[in-house]
Each structure stands twice: as structure tokens, then as C-alpha cells.
Amino acid sequence: EILSAIAAQFSAGPMSGKRVLVTSGPTHEPIDPVRYIANRSSGAQGAALAVALRDLGAEVIFVTGPASVPPPAGVAVHRIETAREMLAAVEAALPVDAAIFAAAVADWRVENSLTQKIKKVAQTSPSITLSENPDILATVCAHPERPKLVIGFAAETENVVPHATAKRLRKGCDWIVANDVSPATGIMGGSNNTVHLITEAGAEDWPPLPKSEVAQRLAARIAEALA
Amino acid sequence: EILSAIAAQFSAGPMSGKRVLVTSGPTHEPIDPVRYIANRSSGAQGAALAVALRDLGAEVIFVTGPASVPPPAGVAVHRIETAREMLAAVEAALPVDAAIFAAAVADWRVENSLTQKIKKVAQTSPSITLSENPDILATVCAHPERPKLVIGFAAETENVVPHATAKRLRKGCDWIVANDVSPATGIMGGSNNTVHLITEAGAEDWPPLPKSEVAQRLAARIAEALA
């Protein structure tokens, strides 16, 4: 009886029985043992999404880079550092019903990264050669086990909706959640977010909302799409 | 009477009346609005040092980059992001009796950093041109208001003591606190530290100790040197 009560509780939400993958946070790409290239991302929006999906009853797999916001309770946490590690963790999590790629993945890694610290030599500066990281969103969209619903994020500093609309088609995903992360907006590291939801039907402009509320709205839409 | 009791309390320590500067944490050097180059540094050793010096009665000026460990209470906190901002904050803090440079300052910044996000274009990778950052430790050592005691840190991955001994002479500082930050040591982000104190007299090898205890030993030595 206790067990069935717990089971009932767990199956109460509209997403019970659904398995959802959420990526979050930045990736770190090593230059040498003490230096790395990173993306600005607190992981706050990804963590809020995981909470909202969990609260609707979904089983959440949370693949996170080194974020400043801790991962929520009640989700399966997989910690990674680089983009290649994130891709491996994402592929290992398939199949899922929906995948939401909220992480700020580095587009490039350092090709000539070193296992010893680069020493400073007078009058010379090392040059960093970059090579392209795997495209996790595009890879999952073209995957034999492609989830029914694939959602990408687009952080832009100019022409937000046109860039995000083009990204949706280029990647082959269902929706793009786009936002303007220009320094002046204060979105990076802030608690609010102003997003545009790009779907096949076009662009919806959402009002400025707390990240938790953006997450709840998006989770409700995901539940609807998977119902 | 209450006020004089407080004053007595404040003047109780062996470093009362001494003004000490501590730098801590990494610096972040922007590539574009969403990407940056960083050094691995939790700021744990710098924060522990500030606590130990404060507890000996010193007035502590704490100049910190974006560290994962929060700055301690009871110190004057100055937050910066880049190496150039750290230098400006350090120079503004002079004169001080002692300066301890525990921050992991980026040797290089990105010369061609951009105000708009770099877009990914098929088959091309941007190249990053680096230029040398100001050398904060050397600048303070050669400063007209050079503190009586200047202490640098050296994070090395090989030949720790020889590299640190050479660094002490090259920079013109009094002491170097050197440690081995090879990934295998687990020092980066860990709670312990194994340091070598390099002075004019040579190298002292300290045993592996919690970072708080490294800080207390070093603070005691600083108090002695300033007495």
C-alpha cells in the first residue's frame, strides 16, 4: 500500500511515463592543464526546466557542464566538461521522448591543447588553433533514435528571431527557444529571460519572465506536444 | 565602554594596524559576449588566506576574479573580471604593508575580441590572437609604493621548485608559494594543498595540508616578517 501510494504520487503528473533529456550549463574546452575556453552560462534556465519537467511527472536525465547553479534534486545527473563528453552522455541517454538542449556548448575546442602548462616566454604569445566541436543538436536530430520532440536553444546578440528561425531549419529540430544575450539585457546570469519560441508555425514572442516561469510554460507546451 | 571593548577586540591580533592585499580567483578574458578564456582556480586558497590574515587582526583588501568560493566576511572585497581590471584594483589599493598574489591571472588576453557573438560558418574555425596581459606581480615589485613584503604564487605542472625559484628572481618578489597542479594531484578545486615556500634562504617543502592550514602557516610567517 505504501509502495502503491508512492507509485500513484509519481504517476500523478501529465508527463508520467515520459523520459526527457535536458542539457544545461557551459562546456569547458581545455587549452592546457590550467587554462580553458568557456561559454558564459549559469545553468539557471536548464536547471529550471529540469525542475518544471520533473514536477509534471517526467523522468528527467540532466546532462550538465560545470554550471554555477547546482543541479536539481529528483533528476538523473550526468556531469561532463567538454562538448565531446556531452555528446557521448547525450547519445547514451537515448531513446527519450523529448530532448531539450539548453546547454551553451562550445562550438570549437582547442586543437593544440597541451598536457603541460604553457610557459610565458618574453615577447611571444602562443596562438590557439581551434577545431569544430561535434554539433550535438544536429547529431540528435539526424539520429536513428531521434526523439519525437527535439528543442534547441539559440543565444543571440543581434537579429535574434531571423537567426533562430534559420537555425531551426539548419539543425532539423522541432522548436528553438531563442533569446537576446547582449550584455545590456542582463539575461546572462540574471533571473529573468525574454524568449522567442520558434516553431514550424512561426515565432512567438514571450514577455520578460522569471526563468522558472519560462521553464513552466515550456514544460507545459512539451507535455501537450507529447500527449 | 562598548566601543572601546570592540576596539580592543579589533586591535588584539598580532597584525592589527597592518594593511594587507590579497588577490584571488581566476580572471576571465572575453573572446566575444558569450565566450571567454579562463584559468582553473576555485579561489579557495586565496579566500583561506584572507580569513587567516583577518583573524590575526590585519585589514584585508581582497581583489577577486569570478571564483567559485565566495569571498570571506570582514574583508574589503573588490570584484574584477579581467587581468587589466585586477591590476587597476591592485594599484588603487596601494600602499599596503604586504601583498599576496594568490589569483590565477591569465597571462594572455584575446587581442581580437568582439562585441558581437562569433557565428559558426561551415568549414571555418576562427583563430584567436593572444596578447600579453600586464604582469601584476612584477609591476607591484617595481612600483614606487612597493609593499615591504610581496608574495607571489606559482602553479606548476613540472619542475615545481626550479621554476618557482627562477620566478622569484625574475619577478623581484620576496617569497613564492609554489605548488604542483598536475591533474593527478587533485589540488585544483580540492581542499588540500602541497606547497613549497621559496624565500631568499631557499625552498621549504611543506607537507600536504588543508588549504586553511596552509593559509594559517603562511599568515603566521607574514605576521613575523612584518613585526
Q: Is the pLDDT of residue A42 over 80?
A: yes
Q: Is the pLDDT of residue A7 over 60?
A: no
SS3 A218: helix
Q: What is the C-alpha to C-alpha distance for residues A199 and A203, in angstroms, rounded to an integer? A: 6
Interface probe, candidates A28, A34, A179, chain B, greatest B C-beta count within 10 A: A34
Residue A78's pLDDT is 98
Average pLDDT, chain B: 90
SS3 A173: coil
CA atoms within a 13 Å half-sphere pointing along the CA-CB vector of A146: 16
Nearest-Cα distance to chain A for B186, in Å, is 12
Determine the average pLDDT of the residues in B21-43: 92
Taking any CB pair shorter than 8 Å as contact, residues of chain B touching chain A are 28, 31, 33-40, 68, 104, 106-108, 116-117, 119-120, 125-132, 155-158, 163, 181-183, 188
Residue pair B178/B160 in contact by the 8 Å Cβ criterion: yes
Q: For A186-207, write each residue's pLDDT tens digit.
A: 666 678 889 999 999 999 999 9
Determine the average pLDDT of the residues in B171-188: 84
Q: For B73-103, write each residue's pLDDT tens digit.
A: 999 999 999 999 999 999 999 999 999 999 9
Q: B85-96 in b/e burial notation, b at 16+ Cβ within 10 A?
A: bbbbbbeebbeb
SS3 A164: helix
Residue A200's pLDDT is 96
Sign of CA dihedral B23, B28, B29, B30: negative
Q: How many CB pairs under 8 A join A and B?
A: 96
> Across-strand partners of B63?
B23, B78
- State which H helix or E strand residue B49 sits in: helix B44-55
pLDDT band at B51 (very low <50, low <70, confident <90, very high): very high
Q: What is the C-alpha to C-alpha distance for residues B30 and B112, in angstroms, rounded to an integer? A: 10
Residue A49's pLDDT is 97
CB–CB contact A125 B117 (8 Å): no
CB–CB contact A36 B38 (8 Å): yes
Q: Is the pLDDT of residue B123 over 70?
A: no
Taking any CB pair shorter than 8 Å as contact, residues of chain A touching chain B are 28, 31, 33-40, 68, 104, 106-108, 115-120, 125-132, 155-158, 163, 181-183, 188
The residue ranking higher by pLDDT, A3 or B185, is B185
B35-39 and B28-32 beta bridge pairing: antiparallel
pLDDT band at B8 (very low <50, low <70, confident <90, very high): very low
Dig out the grid coordinates for A68 from the structure.
Answer: 554555477
Sign of CA dihedral A169, A172, A174, A178: negative
Nearest-Cα distance to chain B for A3, in Å, is 41
Per CB-CB distance under 8 Å, the chain A contacts of B35 are 37-40, 106
Residue B180's pLDDT is 84
Residue B64's pLDDT is 97
Partner-chain residue, chosen from A125, A132, A163, that has the shortest CB–CB distance to B130:
A125
The residue ranking higher by pLDDT, A184 or B2, is A184
Nearest-Cα distance to chain A for B52, in Å, is 26
Residue A156's pLDDT is 86
List, as one string, the DSSP characters of A85-143: HHHHHHHHH-S-SEEEE-SB--SEEETT--SSPPPP-TT----B-EEEPP-HHHHHHTS
Per CB-CB distance under 8 Å, the chain A contacts of B68 are 68
Q: For A88-108, write each residue's pLDDT tens digit.
A: 999 999 999 999 999 999 989
Measuring CA to CA, which residue among B100, B79, B78 is closest to residue B20?
Answer: B100
What is the C-alpha end-to-end distance of chain A, expressed in Å? 29
Measuring CA to CA, which residue among A31, A104, A18, A94 is closest to residue A65?
Answer: A104
Q: Is the pLDDT of residue B121 over 80?
A: no
Complex ipTM, two decimals? 0.78
Residue pair B197/B203 in contact by the 8 Å Cβ criterion: yes
Per CB-CB distance under 8 Å, the chain A contacts of B28 are 38
CB–CB contact B158 A33 (8 Å): no
Per CB-CB distance under 8 Å, the chain A contacts of B134 are none
Q: Is the pLDDT of residue A58 over 70?
A: yes
pLDDT band at A117 (very low <50, low <70, confident <90, very high): confident
**B165: CB partners within 8 A, 6+ apart:** B176, B198, B203
Residue B222's pLDDT is 98
Dig out the grid coordinates for A183 from the structure.
Answer: 550584455
CB–CB contact B155 A31 (8 Å): no
If one counts every other C-beta atom within 10 angstroms of the C-beta of residue B40, the result is: 18
Average pLDDT, chain A: 90
Q: Is the pLDDT of residue A140 over 70?
A: yes
pLDDT band at A122 (very low <50, low <70, confident <90, very high): low
A108-110 and A209-210 beta bridge pairing: unpaired
Residue B189's pLDDT is 63
Residue B9's pLDDT is 52
Dig out the grid coordinates for A208 from the structure.
Answer: 520578460
Name the residue of chain A whose CA is nearest to B128's CA: A128
Dig out the grid coordinates for B129 from the structure.
Answer: 590572437
Partner-chain residue, chosen from B31, B129, B157, that has the shortest CB–CB distance to A33:
B157
Nearest-Cα distance to chain B for A157, in Å, is 6
Residue A191's pLDDT is 81
pLDDT band at A111 (very low <50, low <70, confident <90, very high): confident
Q: What is the C-alpha to C-alpha distance for residues B192 and A59, in angstroms, rounded to an integer? A: 37
Sign of CA dihedral A143, A138, B110, B36: negative
Domains in chain A, please, with CATH? 14-114+129-226 (3.40.50.10300)
Nearest-Cα distance to chain B for A96, in Å, is 28
SS3 content of chain B, % helix, strand, coil (to 5): 30, 30, 40
The answer to which of A60-69, A88-97, A218-227, B31-40 has the lowest mean pLDDT is B31-40
The residue ranking higher by pLDDT, A41 or A213, is A213
Q: For A144-187, write each residue's pLDDT tens digit.
A: 999 999 999 998 888 999 999 999 999 999 999 998 887 677 66
Q: For B144-166, write each residue's pLDDT tens digit.
A: 999 999 999 998 888 999 999 99
Residue A8's pLDDT is 46
Dig out the grid coordinates for B54 from the structure.
Answer: 583577518
Phi and psi at residue A4, to the nearest 5°: -70, -30
Annotated catalytic residues of B are: 39
- State which H helix or E strand residue A63 sits in: strand A59-64
Residue B145's pLDDT is 97
CB–CB contact B107 A117 (8 Å): no
